[in-house]
Structure formats: C-alpha cells, structure tokens
C-alpha cells in the first residue's frame, strides 16, 4: 500500500514536470523558424528531418558525420521509396538533354566523366542494412570495403539510360572514383554486370 502511494506520488511529480516542460516548450515554439506544426495545428511527423535534409542539401549544414537518429527512418523511406528513383530519373533526363545539345567535335576527344558511387553504382543495399542504418551509425571503412568487394552494387536509377545515350552519341566514357586500386577487378565486373559495358578509362585511387 505504501509502495503504491510512493509510486503514485512519483507518477504525479513526473506528470507535473512534464506539464511544466510542455508549457515552457510551447512558449519557446511561437517563433516558427523551423515549423513543427502541420495544417490546423496538427503535429507533422518528420518535418524536422525535412529541415535537416534541406540544410544538408543546400550545404548549410557541413561536415556532418551522422544522420540524426530520429531521421534514420525518414532517410530510409526516402531512399527505398519512389521519390528517390524519381529524383534520379530527373537528373538523368536533364543530363541526357544537356548531352544531346552539345556540339561534339567528333574527333574522339569528347569525354564524359562519371563518378561511381551513388552516380553509376548504388550502394543502397549496403546503406539499408541494419548495421549501417542509412548512415545513422558511424561510418566503418572496413565494412564498406567488404561491401565493395562483394561487387553486387546495382545501377543508380536512370544512369544506365544516360550512359547508353552518351555512348550512342559517340561520347567516350571515363569512370573516376575514390575506390582503391585493389578493387579494380571487382569494380570492373560490377560495372559490367550493372549495364556499363564499355569505357575509355577507369581511374581509381
């Protein structure tokens, strides 16, 4: 009985603190630089992650090391959902239009340089792993290298289409990547498997 009374007291005290904290928070929140409310005062989930993403993409947040823990699901849903694919397709379409507009010299010196990771090959299967959590866990170089060594990266959506257009226009392809030289063989077969069948040069570190 006495224990129950103590627990009740603690629960009440906790609830009171919570309520105080809540009131304090509300008064601080009237200046909505980072809007946390949706229409009609409904709390909108994920808006803070959207603010974080916007700040990262506009390079206002720099040198960040980890995806905020509460944004892991937000990043995951974006990367695995339709939006990421659509965003990639737009980039590919724009690049294709740009390439078709170019006045080519036709002397064999027209070159298009591709990065590899997240440009031609996607590491999404790696980032989606439970021991990586889309970058919400600290980056582990050994682990990433082990993934590269598997040589199973799929193509980035839209990139093979861009690549094929470039090849058909007579533009030569160069891959330039921070991948270590020791992965040359596996990267070569990975690129071929993903649909990039020919290139002028593969420059590794």
Ligand X SMILES: *[C@@H]1O[C@H](CO)[C@@H](O)[C@H](O)[C@H]1NC(C)=O
Distance CA 92, CA 129 (A): 26
Place of tokens 């590794």: 204
Full strand arrangement of the beta sheet holding 172-176: 111-114, 172-176, 201-203
Under the criterion CB under 6 A, does residue 98 sit at the interface with ligand X? yes
Q: Which one of the spans 26-34, 66-74, 82-90, 96-104 is the region binding ligand X (CB under 6 A)?
A: 96-104
Under the criterion CB under 6 A, does residue 130 sit at the interface with ligand X? no
Q: Which of 20, 24, 97, 200 contacts ligand X by CB under 6 A?
A: 97
Distance CA 34, CA 52 (A): 10
3-state class of 82 per DSSP? helix
Q: Which of 34, 86, 129, 143 contacts ligand X by CB under 6 A?
A: 143
Least distance (Å) between residue 160 CB and ligand X: 20
Distance CA 128, CA 84 (A): 14
Under the criterion CB under 6 A, does residue 140 sit at the interface with ligand X? yes
Q: Which one of the spans 53-61, 92-100, 109-117, 186-194 is the region binding ligand X (CB under 6 A)?
A: 92-100
Question: Which residues of the shown chain bind ligand X in the complex (CB under 6 A)?
Answer: 94, 97-98, 101, 140, 142-143
């Amino acid at each position: 009985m006495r224990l129950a009374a103590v627990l009740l007291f603690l629960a009440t005290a906790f609830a009171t603190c919570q309520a105080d904290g809540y009131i304090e928070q509300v008064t601080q929140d009237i200046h909505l630089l980072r809007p946390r409310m949706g229409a009609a005062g409904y709390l909108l989930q994920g808006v803070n992650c959207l603010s974080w993403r916007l700040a990262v993409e506009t390079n206002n947040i720099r040198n960040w090391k980890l995806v905020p823990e509460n944004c892991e699901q937000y990043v995951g849903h974006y990367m695995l959902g339709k939006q990421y694919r659509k965003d990639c397709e737009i980039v590919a379409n724009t690049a294709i239009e740009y390439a078709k507009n170019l006045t080519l010299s036709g002397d064999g010196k027209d070159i298009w340089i591709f990065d590899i990771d997240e440009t031609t090959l996607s590491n999404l299967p790696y980032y989606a792993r439970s021991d990586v959590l889309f970058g919400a866990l600290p980056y582990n170089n050994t682990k990433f290298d082990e993934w590269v060594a598997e040589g199973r990266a799929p193509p980035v959506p839209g990139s093979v289409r861009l690549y094929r257009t470039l090849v058909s226009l007579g533009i030569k392809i160069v891959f330039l990547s921070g991948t270590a030289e020791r992965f040359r063989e596996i990267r070569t077969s990975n690129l071929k498997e993903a649909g990039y069948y020919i290139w002028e040069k593969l420059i590794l570190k």
